Amino acid sequence: MSQFIELGFSPDLLKGIQSLGFENPTPVQEQVIPEIFGNKNDLIGLAQTGTGKTAAFGLPLIEQVDLNQNTTQVLILAPTRELCIQIASDLEQYAHYFTGLKIVPVYGGASIESQLKALKKGAQIVVGTPGRTLDMIKRKAANIGNINTVVLDEADEMLNMGFREELDNILQTTPAGKRTLLFSATMSKEVARISKNYLKNPVKITIGKQNSGAENIRHIYYQVHARDRYYALKRVADINPDIYGLVFCRTRMETKEVADKLIKDGYNADALHGDLSQAQRDYVMNRFRNRTIQMLVATDVAARGLDVNDISHVINYNLPDELDIYTHRSGRTGRAEKSGISISLVNYHEVRKIAQIEKIIGKKCEKHPVPSGEEICQKQLFNLIDRMENATVDEEQIAPFMDTVNKKLEWLSKEEIIKHFVSLEFNRFLDYYKNAPDLNKKANSSRAKAEKVGSSGRNESRNVRGKKNSHESFTRFFINIGKKDGIAPKNIIGMINDNTHDRDINIGDIDIKDSFSFFETGESHTGKILKAFKKEQFQGRQLQVEVAEERKKGKKDKKEKRKKKRA
Ligand code: AMP
Which one of 17-26, 116-125, 199-208, 554-563 scores highest in mean pLDDT? 116-125
Compute the distance from residue 50 Cα to the ligand 1 centre, in Å. Answer: 6
Give the contacts of 494 (CB within 8 A, at least 6 positions apart).
Answer: none
Rounded average pLDDT over 532-552: 80
DSSP state of 114: H
DSSP string, 9-30: --HHHHHHHHHTT--S--HHHH
Distance from C-alpha of 313 to C-alpha of 246, rounded to nearest angstrom: 7
Compute the distance from residue 337 Cα to the ligand 1 centre, in Å. Answer: 9
- Interhelix angle for 27-38 vs 53-64, to 10°? 30
Ligand 1, residue 25: give the atom nearest the CA.
Answer: 19
Compute the distance from residue 269 Cα to the ligand 1 centre, in Å. Answer: 28
- pLDDT band of residue 551 (cuts 50, 70, 90) is low
pLDDT > 70: what percent of the chain? 89
Compute the distance from residue 193 Cα to the ligand 1 centre, in Å. Answer: 29
Protein residue whose Cα sits closest to atom 8 of ligand 1? 52
CATH of the domain spanning 474-566: 3.30.70.330
DSSP state of 209: S
pLDDT at 160 over 50: yes
Nearest one of 369, 360, 93, 384 to 235, comparing CA atoms: 369
Distance from C-alpha of 565 to C-alpha of 13, rounded to nearest angstrom: 39
CB atoms within 10 A of CB 359: 11
CATH of the domain spanning 4-206: 3.40.50.300
- From 335, 337, 338, give the residue whose CB has the most ligand 1 atoms within 8 Å, as the site to mutate: 335
Compute the distance from residue 309 Cα to the ligand 1 centre, in Å. Answer: 10
According to the model, what pLDDT value does residue 153 have?
95
According to the model, what pLDDT value does residue 469 have?
40
- From 9, 19, 24, 26, give the residue whose CB has the most ligand 1 atoms within 8 Å, as the site to mutate: 26
Residue type, 193: R
Protein residue whose Cα sits closest to atom 20 of ligand 1? 22
According to the model, what pLDDT value does residue 370 have?
93
Task: With residue 566 as reference, give the H or E element that holds it.
Answer: helix 553-566
Compute the distance from residue 326 Cα to the ligand 1 centre, in Å. Answer: 22
According to the model, what pLDDT value does residue 471 have?
56
According to the model, what pLDDT value does residue 212 have?
42
pLDDT at 16 over 80: yes
Protein residue whose Cα sits closest to atom 6 of ligand 1? 50
According to the model, what pLDDT value does residue 470 have?
43
According to the model, what pLDDT value does residue 293 have?
94
Nearest one of 111, 176, 117, 181 to 149, comparing CA atoms: 181
Q: Which residue has the higher pLDDT, 293 or 421?
A: 293
According to the model, what pLDDT value does residue 337 have?
61
Distance from C-alpha of 62 to C-alpha of 93, rounded to nearest angstrom: 11
Distance from C-alpha of 113 to C-alpha of 135, rounded to nearest angstrom: 12
Ligand 1, residue 4: give the atom nearest the CA.
Answer: 19
Give the contacts of 271 (CB within 8 A, at least 6 positions apart).
Answer: 255, 256, 258, 259, 260, 284, 296, 297, 298, 464, 466
pLDDT > 90: what percent of the chain? 47
Distance from C-alpha of 84 to C-alpha of 104, rounded to nearest angstrom: 9
Q: Which residue has the higher pLDDT, 557 or 103?
A: 103
Compute the distance from residue 55 Cα to the ligand 1 centre, in Å. Answer: 7
- Sign of dihedral through CA atoms 10, 16, 18, 24? negative
Question: Is there a shared CATH topology between the 4-206 domain and the 474-566 domain?
Answer: no
pTM, full prediction: 0.55
According to the model, what pLDDT value does residue 550 have?
58
Nearest one of 79, 328, 305 to 211, comparing CA atoms: 328
According to the model, what pLDDT value does residue 553 have?
45
Distance from C-alpha of 265 to C-alpha of 489, rounded to nearest angstrom: 30
Protein residue whose Cα sits closest to atom 18 of ligand 1? 22
pLDDT digits (tens, 9 = 90+) for 435-491: 788 888 765 444 444 454 444 555 333 222 333 344 567 888 999 999 888 888 878
- Interhelix angle for 11-19 vs 53-64, to 10°? 150
Rounded average pLDDT over 374-382: 88
DSSP state of 523: G
Task: With residue 120 as reference, give the H or E element that holds it.
Answer: helix 112-120
Compute the distance from residue 1 Cα to the ligand 1 centre, in Å. Answer: 14
pLDDT digits (tens, 9 = 90+) for 503-519: 777 788 888 888 899 98
Q: Which residue has the higher pLDDT, 89 or 109?
A: 89
- From 2, 17, 46, 54, give the residue whose CB has the most ligand 1 atoms within 8 Å, as the site to mutate: 54
pLDDT at 23 over 70: yes
In degrees, rounded to 5, the angle at the alpha carbon of residue 542 between the alpha carbons of residues 539 and 547 is 120
Protein residue whose Cα sits closest to atom 13 of ligand 1? 52
- The DSSP bridge partners found for residue 518 are 478, 511
DSSP string, 275-337: TS-HHHHHHHHHHHHTTS-SEEEE-HHHHTT---S---EEEESS--SSTTHHHHHHTTSS-TT
Rounded average pLDDT over 404-424: 90
- Sign of dihedral through CA atoms 19, 20, 21, 27? negative
Residue type, 111: S
Compute the distance from residue 335 Cα to the ligand 1 centre, in Å. Answer: 9
According to the model, what pLDDT value does residue 461 have?
30
**CATH architecture, domain 217-372:** 3-Layer(aba) Sandwich (3.40)
Domain ranges of the chain: 4-206, 217-372, 375-433, 474-566
For residue 248, CA distances in Å to 318, 333, 368, 420 come to: 7, 13, 19, 39
pLDDT digits (tens, 9 = 90+) for 180-193: 999 998 787 888 99
- pLDDT band of residue 567 (cuts 50, 70, 90) is very low
Ligand 1, residue 309: give the atom nearest the CA.
Answer: 10
According to the model, what pLDDT value does residue 430 have?
81
Distance from C-alpha of 238 to C-alpha of 271, rounded to nearest angstrom: 19
Compute the distance from residue 440 Cα to the ligand 1 centre, in Å. Answer: 40
| Ranges of H-type helices in 162-212 | 164-173, 189-198
DSSP string, 403-443: HHHHHHTTTS-HHHHHHHHHHHHHHHHHHHHTT---TT-TT
Compute the distance from residue 290 Cα to the ligand 1 centre, in Å. Answer: 19
Q: What burial class does residue 480 get, using C-beta atoms within 10 Å of its C-beta: 0-12 exposed, 13-18 middle, 19+ buried? A: middle
Q: Which residues line ligand 1 (CB under 6 A)?
A: 22, 25-26, 29, 49-55, 309, 336
pLDDT digits (tens, 9 = 90+) for 36-48: 998 788 999 988 7
- pLDDT band of residue 272 (cuts 50, 70, 90) is very high
pLDDT at 111 over 80: yes
| CB-CB contact of 103 with 95 (8 Å) | yes
Residue 166 CA, chain-centre distance (Å), reads 24
| CB-CB contact of 196 with 188 (8 Å) | no
According to the model, what pLDDT value does residue 565 have?
47
Distance from C-alpha of 566 to C-alpha of 555, rounded to nearest angstrom: 17
Q: Which phi and psi (to 5°) does residue 53 adopt?
A: -75, -25
Distance from C-alpha of 333 to C-alpha of 246, rounded to nearest angstrom: 9
Rounded average pLDDT over 546-552: 70
